[in-house]
Amino acid sequence: MMKHGFLKVAVASPDVRIADPAFCANELIRIAKDADKRGVRVLVFPELSLTGYTCGDLFFSETLIRGAKEALMHYLSKTADLELLSVVGLPLAYNGKLYNCAAVCCGGEILGIVPKTHLQNAKDSSEARYFAVPDALFLGDTLSLGDMEVSFGTHMIFACENMDSLRIAVEFGSECMLPNPPSVAYTAEGATLICAPAADAERVGREEFRRAMVLSQSARTVCGYLYANAGTGESTTDTVFGGHSMICENGKLLAEKAPFDTADSMVVSEIDLDLVLGERRRAPATPCEMRTHLDCFSFTLSETTLTRSIAPSPFLPADRDERIRRCDRILAIQTEGLKARIERAFAKKIVLGISGGLDSTLALLVMVRAMDALRRPRTDIIAVTMPCFGTTKRTKTNATVLCEELGVDFRCVDIFDAVNLHFRDIGHDPEQRDVTYENAQARERTQVLMDVANDCGGMVIGTGDLSELALGWATYNGDHMSMYGVNASIPKTLVRHLVSHCADLYDADGKNKIAAALRDVLGTPVSPELLPANENGEIAQKTEDLVGPYEIHDFYLYYALRYGFSPAKLYRMAKHALGDVYDDETLKKWLRVFFRRFFAQQFKRSCSPDGPAVGSVSLSPRGAWCMPSDACSALWLAEIDEL
């Protein structure tokens, strides 16, 4: 449990028998024991789960109130040996008033009792008829239950003594729909997990509204959110309850019990507390005036078995329709950024080095969109192909077809002689196929593009993507440099989907030659083409053979930069998400390469050109990623060595 910040949690919608606390307690005990066997460490039951939410005027009965208290004590005795914190609902009398309460239980003890502060008084709920509203702060009170003195109040946080990232607060489900829910203050005070016992009846459209509210609250407060709703055992006199319950994390739905689903009383998932804290560190909450009462508990630390889904391609939505919308929005951001830069730089032309590879193809498509948006002729785009030692017929043909079909000014500048002359000038043997041999070609191409731009009053558009920036897979002051990099915050895995999306759009418009060329680009191995082709004229230098699969690197890139996850956690997540495709040694090998290169290549990112951010991960040195170029990677590499 809780290794790498993963906490196994559950929400339950038990079968209740109205006004029968003994029956309800036994049902809760059964579920709690099942949860413990499944490794759950935090379990949330619905509001008034020891009596049922729909008891009506029976709540006024001293017999029911006393029975609920006895049922709670029975629950405590039967769950004392479980490694489990649970939230149980019951009516509780205190100082002559009756409160709708949530008891936070652990190890056979009550850590605290939280009364509900905002009571529902709608047609289908008359809480205000039975229950009192506690005073505004209500801090520091205690009440006696059996032989225990229990903290009783509204502003309590329950902290795990041996896991600092776990801090729990209780917010009743209906309170998350308030303009200023209590969880806003709780999370500002450090709570990372909100437990929300609820009793919300089903109506047409209510499921969608409820889901939206819970998701938005977990995103707004940057926390794990456990919403446990009353279920089908409740009275159907005037309302019907469906047990719709959710486990959410920072705006993402991890697990859900659909309304009227009776297959299982409980849904289970894992909250990633490291993710919650990693997100908060980037945008710390403003401290609030409220001060909370702190109660502590502890768990035995062990490893959580993961059941939650971890996206193997975190930059891409899994849903096809959402992926299409995402691609459209990214292309719009790229286009608008370039359009504005062209106008404000008074550029007469925009210049691109077109290779027939993925990145330059995407840049060309964005440039065409920008010129169309500016209502300028596409011939104001100068696309230059610069064949040399490693250029293959396939890539040159694709570049030619795309440029001719799109109607841009297409030029060919053969740099073979210029590079050989440069080798002679610097005394380099062209048979020595080393980094000088490769980088001389990249820098010659950049010189050609810059000079063409000077000659026509234009600007050079960069093609390098986010994955290449992270790994430093660019020639310093070669393809590394431009006047505006439209792909700078787009990882390679996403570049591929954007080009595929554009191919579909051109196909739909009847422009089949363009679509066919784009699909052939997608089928071409990623390569800088700086080494001669093989005897069959095919690409000999494949990037992913040298630096590793971009699918793996983009996975590490997203979680390392977005949340600051450790190498050990990245490795564990990669095994869970990508283990069906790559073996453990492969994942570990490229994890070491990722961190070694990421640290060593920061100097290239420190002077990277302007480019539009399109998502939550960017390596722009102008505020998105601030890192010294001489930072040491030893700590990260040592952790990888210990895996």
Count CB neighbours of 574 within 10 A: 23
Q: Mind listing the pLDDT tens digit for each residue in 265-313? A: 999 999 999 999 999 887 765 555 555 566 788 888 778 899 999 999 9
Per-residue tokens: 256: 């859900």
What gap in Å lies between CA 350 and CA 342, rounded to an integer?
8
Name which of 90, 84, 118 is nearest 102 in CA terms.
90
Q: pLDDT value at position 178?
A: 86
Q: Is the pTM of this model over 0.75?
A: yes
CA distances in angstroms from 225 to 42, 172, 183, 215, 367, listed in the order given: 11, 11, 10, 8, 43
Q: pLDDT value at position 1?
A: 47
What gap in Å lies between CA 516 and CA 302, rounded to an integer?
53
Residue 162 amino acid letter: N
Q: What end-to-end distance do the CA atoms of the chain give, in Å?
A: 18
Helices (H), 393-461: 393-406, 416-426, 435-456
Taking domain 3-297, whether its CATH number is 3.60.110.10 is answered by yes
> Strand, helix or coil at 638?
helix
347 with 458: CB under 8 angstroms?
A: yes
Domain boundaries, the chain: 3-297, 320-641
Q: If residue 246 lies in a helix (H) or strand (E), which one and from where to where?
A: strand 245-249
Below-50 pLDDT ranges, the chain: 1
Name which of 487, 479, 489 is nearest 529 in CA terms.
479
How are beta strands 458-462 and 252-257 bridged, if at all?
unpaired
Helices (H), 295-344: 320-344
Per-residue tokens: 549: 């699969």
Burial classification of residue 188, based on how many CB atoms lie within 10 Å of its CB (0-12 exposed, 13-18 middle, 19 or more buried): middle
CA distances in angstroms from 378 to 348, 408, 409, listed in the order given: 12, 5, 8
Q: Pick left, alpha or beta for residue 31 (phi over 0 → left; psi -120 to 50 → alpha; otherwise beta).
A: alpha
118 with 174: CB under 8 angstroms?
A: yes
Fold of 320-641: Rossmann fold (3.40.50)
207 with 168: CB under 8 angstroms?
A: no
Read off φ and ψ for residue 18, nearest 5 degrees. Answer: -60, 125
